[in-house]
Amino acid sequence: MVTQRGRRDGADSAGRPPRRPRRPATPDADNAPTAEIPAVPAEGTGRNGDAPEAVRAKSIPEAAVARLAVYLRVLSGMSEQGATTVSSEELSQAAGVNSAKLRKDLSYLGSYGTRGVGYEVSVLVSQIERILGLTRQHKVAVVGIGNLGHALANYGGFPGRGFPVEALFDLDADLIGVPVGGLPVSHMDDIPRVCAERGISIGVIATPPTAAQSVCDRLVAGGVQCILNFAPVVLQVPAHIEVRKVDLAVELQILSFHVARRADDAAGSQGNSGLPGTGLPSDNGKGGRNGSGPDGGREMVVRS
């Protein structure tokens, strides 16, 4: 006796389930239809009482935030030169990113451009400034008035971008009271009081590494919310404090790695006694490529 198996609903005579309908193809990001750039409202609220730009800002990845700052610099330069519109290709090339990534980044702002026209420069500048919190100034304090601190205190580009330097600090008795960049240098012991009185929101640490944590603690005690740290140490801070570390030595080591890799690639592309024109090496009896190492190139260690 042959037992007949039950069919699934909609199955064919062979018992196979029905085919699922094909999903419509997703349009390519570069060829997707675009719309007018919506203006960012100056007022109004979103979910949980947040302003619309605050809601959007919470969903933007940190890597995209860094690129938005680059776009703002490029757009500001274009605006100064009289440009009123810019295409995604022009902006992506000037910013050093691919156009698909740029369009994705700008979509966090609600900006999609207009096909055949591009993006309106002034609108993009306004949107990015609002997302980055640049609609108000952020007062800056520089701690450590050595060579780097002097350079930062005298740099004229900060105020124009919304970051006026309002306080300077050092331990050197010969510097206390001496004006640098138009501001007198205060003693480090006065950091909490001066930062609280002047409403400092960003602190820049340009001290030797041994003093960095103590300076950081004083800045936090003075109400500073964000710290830019040039000292080659990891700072311990409360959870609500944002720290950005700039280690110039590490950056140079990373660049050194890329220089060495390109030199090895260039040497390999010239070929040797292996296959002509392919860059494929022969052993030469020295254990590696031209005897230079087991991986055929100079061995390098990047130390952080």
DSSP state string for 262-286: HHHHHHHHT--SSSTTTT----TTT
Q: 147 a known binding residue? A: yes
d(CA 266, CA 276): 15
Q: 274 a known binding residue? A: no
Q: 288 a known binding residue? A: no
Q: 148 a known binding residue? A: yes
d(CA 9, CA 32): 38
- C-alpha distances out from residue 224 to 43, 105, 155, 204, 302, Å: 27, 29, 21, 10, 34
d(CA 92, CA 107): 14
Per the rule left: phi > 0, alpha: psi between -120 and 50, beta: everything else, 110 is: left
d(CA 118, CA 120): 7
Query: CA angle at residue 141 from 69 to 170, to 5 degrees?
Result: 135
Q: 171 a known binding residue? A: no
DSSP state string for 41-60: PSS---GGG--HHHHHHHTS
* Beta partners for residue 245, in sequence order: 229
Q: 293 a known binding residue? A: no
d(CA 186, CA 27): 59
Instruction: Name the 3-class secondary structure at 87.
Output: coil
Residue holding tokens 């992506």? Answer: 92
d(CA 164, CA 198): 12
Residues contributing to the annotated binding site: 144-149
Residues contributing to the annotated binding site for NAD(+): 144-149
